[in-house]
Amino acid sequence: MEKIPRERIRNFCIIAHVDHGKTTLSDRLLQITGTVVESKLQNQMLDSMDLERERGITIKAHPVTMTYFYPKDKQYYQLNLIDTPGHVDFSYEVSRSLSACEGALLVIDATQGIQAQTVSNVFLAEKHNLVLIPVINKIDLPTANPELVKKQLEEILAIPADTAILASGKEGIGIDEILQAIIRHIPPPQAFPDQILRALIFDSVYDPFKGVILYVRMFSGKIKKGEKILLLSTKKSYEVKEVGIFNPKMVPEEELYEGNSGYVIANIKDPSEIKIGDTITWETGGTTSPLPGFQEIVPMVFSGIYPLNSSEFEKLKNAIQKLQINDPAITISQESSVALGSGFRCGFLGLLHMEIVQERLRREYGVDILTTYPSVVYKVYLRSGEILEVDNPSKLPDPSTIEHIAEPLVKAYLIVPSENIGELMQLISEKRGSCETTETLDQNMVILHCLFPLNEILVDFNDKLKSITHGYGSMDYKPAGYRISDLVKLDILVNGEPIEALSCIVHASKAESRGRAIIQKLKERIPRHLFKIALQAAIGSKIIAREDIGAIGKNVTAKCYGGDITRKRKLLEKQKEGKKRMKTFGKVDIPQEAFLEILKTDVKQS
């Protein structure tokens, strides 16, 4: 590739609410700039995972380098695009992509208008001082209303409506206009006069043959094969084996220079040696001050991940470690459970993030897994004055030592049709939330600013929101501190033995309904044994719900044809004694499906 000077390089990303057409727009940009030849062009070019294609969402940020001939000054420009995810759980991917850019295309669906994620992505981009170019996409649809979106741009985001570009990624409308706006409005990369190597690692992937592949944005200096580089956070040095750009596949180059986005392969075998957001410099004569990276990620949801087959523990361990390298948002620690064997306690950013990680473990690494009910981090204040952070119900100390428990809150804003407010208010109070303020967006939509306990919106809140609003509602949330609440640990006992994997921390008002629902599910799934099985839900020593699974009846008197009734009684008494003994020593077989049923689906609370 011919070297293009820094002044003619533009680094930008595309940000938007989920499903507003970012990836289709990226496909069109690749087509118009000739980056991908027509015969090889396919939909969702930058979504490399099967999972992304199936769900129609972007999970990982994908970089690509394009060359565009700008007719105004008859020069070639290098445009480095990073396609980012739109879902709330993947905002950390957006954050680190923004660290590597000077500008962003803000894509808004002309039929749906501004959504919750649009607002939060704009705030994130402004925090990184990026130049925003608004693009109103899908104008070819019959229900498109670009004028309304322009009005929303000015009223909600304070972005001048006349700067918006009307486009359709599907039909290819307005694509040249977008490319020219990128060149006109987004500034070239900032110059560092000293020319010392500074590169930001904004992502990384693990390749079994090449080791760790670093995705980098070059801020100054050059990097080429054979050079010795240093990672500032770990102070470890490596020899560069290959550098190149994404086109959109990896294309080796002689060198990467300032302004470029590309990849570096440097003989790094251990994924744990890499920190996303780290700075690469030369081993000798390099810089000592790191580039500003992206925000540190704090997991909000925790769940146990266990192999379905205990012999696959090592396979699961390797898979999670490899997955962690290009998804630093996962935190892992080893744990074991009597019911499920050895596994890992993993921290995630949200429910979709957890679901995607589980699905990737199954597909990319071929591990069959079982996950425990998701939990959040509670602050437990002990009578001794000590404060514990508990993310696993089994780690909760004895209730007699606890002063009180505080649960994490989130500040959520919901953008919903005004006709659904009544039903939504009901859902909000059902989830122990409170609506603080409402503001009108336009004649049809309103924004609700709410406060929720995080554990209440974990499992099914988004599904219910979509169901009530017929798909038109959207939500975004951010942490909002802790609040003391009346929380209890709910234990599930089978024949008097607590099943740790099914324990959970719930609000006292919901403990009975949740306990009843779980043991009902267990009753449906556990087969009958030769003895009666008691299923109980308990808070401490207090039993709040109970169900029994009856014993299998065996006709021990079948061989007695007539004769004295005392013979039959004797046999029945003998059977009764045997069943008593079995109840004391008998081990209940709980099928894996019973765990799967309870752990995978939300147990509806009455």
d(C-alpha 175, C-alpha 162), whole Å: 17
Domain boundaries, the chain: 6-185, 198-282, 301-371, 378-485, 489-600
Average pLDDT for 488-497: 85
Task: Indicate the residue type of 411.
Answer: K
Beta bridge partners of 228: 239
Number of other CB atoms surrounding residue 384 within 10 Å: 8
d(C-alpha 266, C-alpha 253), whole Å: 14
pLDDT given at position 98: 73
- Prior bond to 134 cis, omega within 30? no
Residue 589 has pLDDT above 70, yes or no: no
pLDDT given at position 88: 45
Q: List the binding residues.
A: 19-24, 137-140
Residue bearing the bigger pLDDT, 85 or 330: 330
Q: Which helix (H) or strand (E) holds 543?
A: strand 542-549
| pLDDT tens string 393-429 | 878 888 888 889 999 998 888 888 888 888 999 999 9
In the chain, the percentage of residues whose pLDDT exceeds 70 is 82
Contacts with 277 (C-beta within 8 Å, 6 or more apart), sequence order: 96, 99, 200, 201, 202, 293, 294
Phi-psi label, residue 489: left if phi above 0, alpha if psi -120 to 50, beta otherwise: beta
| pLDDT tens string 248-257 | 778 888 888 8
CATH class, range 198-282: mainly beta
pLDDT given at position 585: 43
Q: Which CATH architecture has domain 378-485?
A: 2-Layer Sandwich (3.30)
pLDDT given at position 6: 81
Homologous superfamily in CATH for domain 489-600: Elongation factor 4, C-terminal domain (3.30.70.2570)
Beta bridge partners of 486: none
d(C-alpha 79, C-alpha 65), whole Å: 6
Distances from the Cα of 53 to the Cα of 16, 23, 356, 564, 569, angstroms: 18, 10, 13, 74, 68
User: Quick check: 501 and 337 in contact, CB under 8 A?
Assistant: yes
pLDDT given at position 575: 67
Q: What is the number of alpha carbons within 13 Å of residue 357 lying toward its C-beta? A: 33
CA 428 to chain centre: 23
Average pLDDT for 364-375: 80
Q: What is the CATH number of domain 301-371?
A: 3.30.70.870
Fold of 6-185: Rossmann fold (3.40.50)
d(C-alpha 360, C-alpha 316), whole Å: 12
What is the end-to-end Cα distance of the chain in Å, rounded? 64
Residue 380 has pLDDT above 80, yes or no: yes
| pLDDT tens string 136-186 | 888 888 888 888 888 888 888 888 888 888 888 788 788 888 889 999 999
| pLDDT tens string 32-79 | 877 765 544 444 444 444 433 443 333 345 678 888 888 888 888 888
d(C-alpha 322, C-alpha 365), whole Å: 9
| pLDDT tens string 90-127 | 455 556 667 778 898 888 888 888 887 778 778 778 87
| pLDDT tens string 428-484 | 998 899 988 888 877 777 888 899 998 888 777 877 888 888 877 877 777 888 999
Question: Given the structure tokens 């070639």, which residue do they identify?
Answer: 76
Residue 582 has pLDDT above 60, yes or no: no
Among 68-77, 292-301, 333-342, the range of highest mean pLDDT: 68-77
Q: Which candidate, 376, 377, 381, places its Cα nearest to that of 405?
A: 381
Residue 566 has pLDDT above 50, yes or no: yes
Contacts with 9 (C-beta within 8 Å, 6 or more apart), sequence order: 77, 78, 79, 80, 188, 189, 259, 260
Contacts with 295 (C-beta within 8 Å, 6 or more apart), sequence order: 92, 95
CA 418 to chain centre: 29
pLDDT given at position 451: 92
Average pLDDT for 17-45: 66
Q: List the binding residues for GTP.
A: 19-24, 137-140
Q: How confident is the model at residue 297 (pLDDT cuts 50, 70, 90)?
A: low
Please determine whether the domains at 6-185 and 198-282 fall in the same fold group of CATH. Answer: no
User: Quick check: 547 and 523 in contact, CB under 8 A?
Assistant: yes
| pLDDT tens string 509-555 | 888 888 888 888 888 877 777 778 888 899 888 888 888 888 776 66
Contacts with 385 (C-beta within 8 Å, 6 or more apart), sequence order: none
Can you point out the beta strands (E) in 418-514? 434-440, 445-453, 474-485, 487-494, 497-498, 504-507
